[in-house]
Structure 1
């Protein structure tokens, strides 16, 4: 085992995948010589050459469109969209081409591509570098959407995504790149060592696609979260002293309803936490599913703790984020409900 940051784990995952399969290619803006704006591809071009790790123009539609074509003809592209906010020019390629290729060709072609995107806020990147668009991808049939919360999962999930025969959107929480909250703010909590999530095996391994993980067992209330919010949920449970079970979804499509149902039926209460805005966020889908499948086990209405329905506030992003205080208040509310 080696201790790695999420950046190092993501870089190592691509290195492992490229070393095992010559059909894996990595490309995007600044990913080659420069090694990526966050250095997630540093050294790959030097090791594997210009044919397998290369820079592209600033053209997100072209990046994803080229990846779809490469995937259809047998390669396994792993491309980087420099920030998730930049994916909108490529959205038609993602939705109309990558997601539908298997079905529209009657399985004659597939799109085994992975689209990596740094997501969320926490680095004072402003409105066009801080969005959390995961619900947009979850709405699209034919896409898989994965969001790791720690280095171990980041490496294993990314390798699994690259090896998957269908298109995967791989969202990387920027606040976790160098550890929870990345030391950018005095409100940072929960270092890797506290929950032993920083140990990463060498070599090849995968984390099952669509399998959630219980990060903290509990009996009183279930907290559903993913990405950065897993650490916020853990902090809230510890600060309140409430016996909360924290479920890290890992991927939102496919969704591990078996683990979710088992937890909510056991506790009878549920709090959903995500960084994206409230209205039509993925939390709404989770609450709908919980109400449908766990209604007779609920002792209180499920509560969502999310970002606010406002344009992303550059100067006040830490007030925008769900934090341990807001999540703790939600926990107390569901515990007091009769």
Structure 2
């Protein structure tokens, strides 16, 4: 539900900024913190203009200490605030992992509900900007393993705003990963080149004011009968583009949130198609695709006609000079579609 009936075209970064603006105006308990989020407006400009509008006590810069950023946010949440800390790149989140795993995720349970940790940790993740090994990682699977954390990954401006508002309003800690490769366009990198700006994409039409996209509800991007394709973030656009180019009648599902996961939508689709392909950018071993594959096998074993396919990054450190070969792209996704649909 929205506060207003109007909408406008936005890039994903603009939609994220708008979500933060809406929530800061709506709820004085919302505060933003992180490295360079204040005067500079964030390295990707996600917080641009917010310190000027809301002041230095609600949008403020922190030292270069991810452990400190998340630790302070946990305390703020317990005190009654709704902090939205930014970790400048997902690669930098590891020093704060203990605060997320041992404190934020467990606070509600260890205090028998007396305290909560309503923080939303925003962080750009994934490759595609030639950032090298320490600015391009996809660590989402680490957080899906932690009971008490929610993990959210939008794929378009409309969902980015609605999901971020829902995350900020949630009383549990949320890790909100933003695929920076598509901050400014939906198909960037689908075929190793930009294809289309957000201004021409229907999912860039973003309602003004307050609205939410519920956590735990996937979206069927494209209906089909031949195969179910599960993806999230950037890979939604890449997989969708390949299916269209190859003329495959695929049902493409954007998971939106990894935890909570919309297993009902996945189950309904795979039982209809009898085939399942999973696409994600992160490394294969221990990636979230492994969990998805296990769940599909558990829920849809008797409906599956062929083995589940996974198209992922490789089990190597992130290869800066070969990042386009590392990403699942037209060739590898196309080959997997050929295998899974050959019978």
Which of the five TM-score ranges fits, normalised by the shorter chain? over 0.9
Residue 59 (1) aligns with residue 65 (2) = yes
Tell me if structure 2 keeps the 8 A contact 1:26–1:79.
yes
Question: How far apart are the structure 1 equivalents of 2:331 and 2:220?
Answer: 22
Deviation at 1:181, TM superposition (A): 4.9
Question: How far apart are the structure 2 equivalents of 1:127 and 1:119?
Answer: 12
Residue 286 (1) aligns with residue 292 (2) = yes
Residue 72 (1) aligns with residue 78 (2) = yes
Root-mean-square deviation (Å): 1.3
Within 5 A, what are the aligned runs for 1:193-272? Answer: 195-272=201-278
Deviation at 1:65, TM superposition (A): 0.2
Residue 127 (1) aligns with residue 133 (2) = yes
Question: How far apart are the structure 2 equivalents of 1:217 and 1:117?
Answer: 31
Tell me if structure 2 keeps the 8 A contact 1:237–1:244.
yes
Deviation at 1:180, TM superposition (A): 2.3
Deviation at 1:188, TM superposition (A): 3.1
TM-score, structure 2 length as denominator?
0.96
The C-alpha deviation readout for 1:165-224, integer Å capped at 9, x for no partner, is 000000000111001254798533455466511110100000011000000100000000
Question: Which residue of the other structure, out of 44, 49, 61, is the alignment partner of 2:50?
Answer: 44
Within 5 A, what are the aligned runs for 1:11-50? Answer: 11-50=17-56
Q: What's the counterpart of residue 4 of structure 2?
A: none
Deviation at 1:326, TM superposition (A): 1.2
Tell me if structure 2 keeps the 8 A contact 1:180–1:191.
yes
The C-alpha deviation readout for 1:279-314, integer Å capped at 9, x for no partner, is 010000000000111000001100000000011000
Question: How far apart are the structure 2 equivalents of 1:276 and 1:195?
Answer: 26
The C-alpha deviation readout for 1:24-52, integer Å capped at 9, x for no partner, is 00010000000000000000000000010
1:194–1:7 CA distance, 2 compared to 1 (3 A) = closer
Question: Which residue of the other structure, out of 81, 96, 99, is the alignment partner of 1:90?
Answer: 96
Tell me if structure 2 keeps the 8 A contact 1:122–1:181.
no
Question: How far apart are the structure 1 equivalents of 2:73 and 2:299?
Answer: 38
Say which SS state the counterpart of residue 70 (structure 1) adopts: helix
Say which SS state the counterpart of residue 180 (structure 1) adopts: coil
Deviation at 1:233, TM superposition (A): 1.0
Of 324-333 and 59-68, more deviation after overlay is shown by 324-333
Q: What's the counterpart of residue 160 of structure 1?
A: 166
Question: How far apart are the structure 1 equivalents of 2:321 and 2:53?
Answer: 40
* Equivalences, count: 337
Q: What's the counterpart of residue 300 of structure 1?
A: 306
Question: How far apart are the structure 1 equivalents of 2:222 and 2:292?
Answer: 19
The C-alpha deviation readout for 1:71-117, integer Å capped at 9, x for no partner, is 00100000100000000000000100000000010000000000001
Question: How far apart are the structure 2 equivalents of 1:193 and 1:249?
Answer: 23
Q: What's the counterpart of residue 137 of structure 1?
A: 143
Provide structure 1 residue ranges, at least 5 long, that are not aligned to the other structure. none
Q: What's the counterpart of residue 319 of structure 1?
A: 325
Tell me if structure 1 keeps the 8 A contact 2:228–2:252.
yes
Question: How far apart are the structure 2 equivalents of 1:186 and 1:229?
Answer: 13
Tell me if structure 2 keeps the 8 A contact 1:119–1:130.
yes
Question: Which residue of the other structure, out of 315, 321, 327, is the alignment partner of 1:309?
Answer: 315
Provide structure 2 residue ranges, at least 5 long, that are not aligned to the other structure. 1-6
Say which SS state the counterpart of residue 32 (structure 2) adopts: strand
Tell me if structure 2 keeps the 8 A contact 1:122–1:175.
yes
Say which SS state the counterpart of residue 219 (structure 1) adopts: coil
Tell me if structure 1 keeps the 8 A contact 2:122–2:178.
yes
